[in-house]
């Protein structure tokens, strides 16, 4: 066995982390197929999987004689999982063949409502299963997502007949941002849009189990909102059944700034606490029946009841990704209890992740999956560290675990939070040290009683139990408001390039699973990723079409965002993620044809800064006025017919085909990247579905 300091990597990986590395390689294979989804890659992967399996099997026979055999062993192990990732991603890719809309259409359709949610704007979002439509792309059994005004008491199972304006699945908002079209396509959607006119609404057309559960969740959340003072009823609905329709925007913003927004979703924390609260209650109940406890294994019976209760709660919560992961993890824990084995290990977490990705590989692109597994990995790793400390005092051990696990979870999920939401909370660790015990010890146990009361359908009992739960919820809301009011709460953090998410994840696994010089290599990778992140420049502006109007958004010299037209909340939030936090204000537009935008200053040296001004022309007729007026940059939404006489360059940005731009203003030039360019940015290209686009 080699004794050198540069010992082979395979010798430094603990047995319990083999599956973790396998999961990381599986994810790498899924991402590789996402970059180039072609049939040729599938055939190469199948052939490579066969060869790698042979290499991995027979390398064990000569690894004890040749150190190089260990390298072959490692490469074979990693290659098997990478190629398996390519194959499972390809299976999902070619399995989905439903038509997708390729251009906007106005159609009249008949459809059944499958799911309902309330948007922050007050509009209702409906997921529909189409029954009849004249469109060739949106046929029977197609699924679309539309918004409409809340003019009718919609419920899942209702049939509607309406005129709708439908659009293709949304491309990435801007260069390097998440590709929601990929996630929507694999969830079965063919188009999205809005209803322009409702002709008919028939209640109770279908009554499947999933529709009944959807209606029960919304009715239960509505009752909680009625029985509790605002915003506590909305918070309770989100905590217990995942319905966030009744949370006021200001309350959600408070939880986001305080770092407690994860409590407003059915997460692994909720599922774990629910299952083990049932487990603990059953063990406590068995303690009153000593004869039964001696005759039967009480802890195993309690584990089975907790498993069944968790499955029922998973159905009631609507099967969110984090809850599915937590329930599968709880199943493994319960299986370990039944077999008298240790349950909370990173091997079990990797096993759950592998099962979920084998079934639905596209989950790897979702924020919920990324945050759930990274946070769980950090917490379970911390549990092992605290166990190795051998702290005898139980209270001290619990306090050390809470502090370390909160810090570990916050640190390991920071790049993902920055990529998807572009913010961090300085006080998040401290807030969770108070909020999580409060939720675990008081709020969720009372919530289980409220949930049982809701299942009985007896309103007086529900009203009483909801009033009891409102007391600790009020403490949680007040604490969230306190943390959100502190300085640096909800501070802006520029999103990292998407490839760094994998780099940080790889560094975390290296730091946790390796030792010696290879752990140092993991620290070096984490440091290098952080340096690359810090050096990535933020765009100075973005350009997009809002309806039929071209809109420019830039960071101004006063730190706010100047907007040349009307933008929806969706586009304002995505612009703020790229450009930085700041109040959106209307730009100075002397007339409808052009706007003048003072840009944020750029340092020329340590003592001087230059103030730059952009002239944005909506129509080419304004160019005769803007040329020669001394502006640093001129951008035109319409293609100019003639250049400026003084030689100043006019930059024209194409507004067709849903193209949107991230713009960087250099000292004497303008650089830009487009949201649908695969040549400039190969890490996250636009997804072109294998389905027929009509």
What are the distances in angstroms from CA 485 to CA 133, 257, 560, 582?
Answer: 51, 8, 21, 17
* Residues 634, 669: Cα–Cα separation, whole Å: 10
| DSSP-assigned beta bridge partners for residue 112 | 129, 159
Q: What integer pLDDT is reported at residue 682 of this predicted model?
A: 30
Q: Does residue 677 have a pLDDT over 70?
A: no
- Compute φ and ψ for 244, nearest 5 degrees: -105, 15
Q: How confident is the model at residue 57 (pLDDT cuts 50, 70, 90)?
A: low
Structure tokens at 175: 């260069």
Q: Is the pLDDT of residue 195 over 60?
A: yes
Is pLDDT larger for residue 51 or for residue 378? 378
More reliable by pLDDT, 81 or 2: 81
Interval 475-515: pLDDT, tens = 999 999 999 999 888 888 889 998 999 999 999 998 988 88
Tokens of 16: 């319990």
What is the CATH topology of the domain spanning 105-207? OB fold (Dihydrolipoamide Acetyltransferase, E2P) (2.40.50)
pLDDT at residue 224, rounded to an integer? 93
β strands within 103-188, DSSP E:
105-118, 124-132, 143-148, 159-167
In the chain, the percentage of residues whose pLDDT exceeds 90 is 21
User: What average pLDDT does the structure give for the chain?
Assistant: 82
Give the per-residue pLDDT at 693: 33
594-623 average pLDDT score: 76
pLDDT, position 412: 92
Return the pLDDT at 61.
Answer: 57
Domain range summary for the chain, segments of one domain joined by +: 11-95, 105-207, 268-457, 499-535, 541-674
Structure-model confidence comparison of residues 379 and 79, the more confident one: 379
Per-residue pLDDT band at 688 (split at 50, 70, 90): very low
**pLDDT confidence bin for 197, thresholds 50/70/90:** very high
- Residue 281's contacts (CB-CB under 8 Å, 6 or more residues apart) are none
CB distance 320 to 265 below 8 Å: yes
How many whole angstroms separate alpha carbon 681 and alpha carbon 500? 13
Any bridge partners for residue 107, and if so which? 164
For 525-546, how does the pLDDT look when each residue is reduced to its tens digit (9 = 90+)?
Answer: 999 999 999 998 888 899 988 8
pLDDT confidence of residue 134 = 82
The whole-number average pLDDT for the span 330-336 is 76
CA–CA dist 549, 199 (Å, integer) = 30
Where would I find the H helices in 318-393? 321-338, 346-359, 367-389
Parallel/antiparallel/unpaired status of strands 650-652 and 609-610: unpaired
């Amino acid at each position: 066995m080699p004794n050198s300091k540069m010992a082979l990597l395979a010798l430094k990986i603990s047995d319990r982390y083999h599956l973790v590395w396998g999961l990381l390689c599986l994810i790498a294979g899924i991402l590789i197929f996402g970059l180039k989804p072609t049939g040729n890659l599938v055939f190469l992967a199948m052939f490579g999987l066969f060869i790698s399996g042979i290499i991995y099997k027979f390398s064990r026979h000569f690894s004890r004689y040749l150190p190089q055999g260990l390298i072959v062993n490692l490469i074979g192990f990693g290659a098997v999982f990478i190629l398996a990732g390519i194959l499972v991603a390809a299976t999902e890719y070619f399995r989905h063949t439903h038509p997708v809309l390729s251009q906007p259409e106005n159609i009249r359709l008949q459809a059944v409502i499958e799911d309902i949610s309330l948007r922050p704007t007050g509009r209702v979002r409906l997921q529909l299963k189409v029954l009849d439509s004249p469109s060739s792309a949106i046929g029977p059994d197609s699924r679309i997502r539309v918004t409409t005004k809340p003019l009718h008491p919609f419920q899942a199972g209702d049939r509607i007949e309406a005129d709708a304006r439908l659009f293709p699945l949304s491309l990435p908002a801007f260069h390097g941002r998440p590709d929601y079209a990929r996630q929507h396509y694999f969830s079965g959607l063919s188009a999205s849009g809005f209803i322009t006119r409702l002709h008919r609404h028939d209640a109770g057309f279908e009554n499947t189990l999933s529709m009944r559960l959807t209606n029960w969740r919304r009715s239960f959340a509505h009752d909680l909102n009625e029985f509790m003072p605002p915003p506590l009823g909305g918070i309770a609905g989100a905590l217990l059944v995942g319905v966030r329709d009744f949370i006021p925007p200001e309350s959600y913003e408070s939880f986001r700034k305080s770092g407690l927004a994860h409590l407003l979703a059915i997460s692994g924390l909720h599922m774990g606490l629910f299952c083990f609260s049932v487990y603990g209650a059953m063990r406590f109940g068995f303690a009153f029946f000593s004869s039964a406890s001696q005759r039967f294994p009480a802890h195993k019976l309690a584990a089975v009841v907790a498993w069944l209760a968790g499955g029922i709660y998973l159905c009631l919560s609507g099967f969110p990704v984090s809850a599915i992961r937590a329930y599968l993890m709880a199943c493994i824990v319960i299986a370990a209890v039944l077999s008298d084995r240790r349950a909370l290990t990173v091997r079990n977490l990797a096993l759950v992740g592998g099962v979920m990705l084998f079934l639905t590989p596209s989950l790897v692109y979702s924020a919920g999956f990324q945050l759930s597994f990274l946070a769980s990995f950090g917490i379970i790793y911390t549990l092992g560290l605290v166990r190795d400390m051998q702290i005898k005092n139980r209270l001290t051990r619990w306090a050390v675990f809470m502090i370390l696990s909160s810090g570990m979870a916050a640190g390991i999920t920071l790049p993902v939070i920055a990529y998807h939401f572009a913010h961090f909370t300085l006080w998040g660790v401290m807030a969770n040290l108070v909020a999580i015990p409060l939720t675990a010890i008081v709020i969720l146990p009372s919530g289980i009683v409220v949930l049982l009361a809701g299942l009985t359908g007896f309103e007086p009992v529900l009203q009483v139990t909801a009033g009891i739960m409102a007391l600790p919820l009020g403490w949680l809301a007040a604490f969230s408001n306190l943390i959100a009011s502190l300085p640096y709460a909800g501070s802006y953090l520029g999103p990292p390039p998407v490839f760094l998410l994998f780099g940080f994840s790889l560094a975390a696994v290296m730091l946790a699973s390796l030792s010696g010089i290879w752990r140092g290599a993991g620290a070096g990778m984490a440091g290098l990723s952080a340096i690359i992140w810090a050096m990535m420049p933020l765009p100075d502006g973005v350009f997009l079409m809002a309806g039929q109007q071209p809109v420019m958004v830039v960071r101004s010299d006063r730190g706010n965002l100047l907007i040349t037209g009307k933008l929806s909340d969706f586009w304002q939030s995505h612009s703020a993620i790229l450009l930085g936090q700041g109040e959106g204000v209307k730009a100075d537009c002397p007339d409808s044809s052009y706007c003048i935008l003072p840009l944020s200053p750029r340092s020329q040296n340590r003592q001087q800064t230059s103030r730059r001004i952009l002239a944005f022309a909506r129509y080419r007729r304004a160019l005769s006025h803007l040329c020669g007026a001394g502006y640093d940059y001129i951008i035109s939404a319409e293609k100019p017919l003639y250049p400026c006489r003084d030689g100043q360059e006019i930059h024209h940005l194409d507004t067709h085909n849903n193209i949107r731009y991230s713009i960087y203003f250099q000292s004497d030039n303008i650089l830009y990247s487009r949201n649908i360019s695969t040549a400039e940015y190969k890490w996250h290209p636009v997804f072109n579905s294998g389905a027929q686009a009509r």
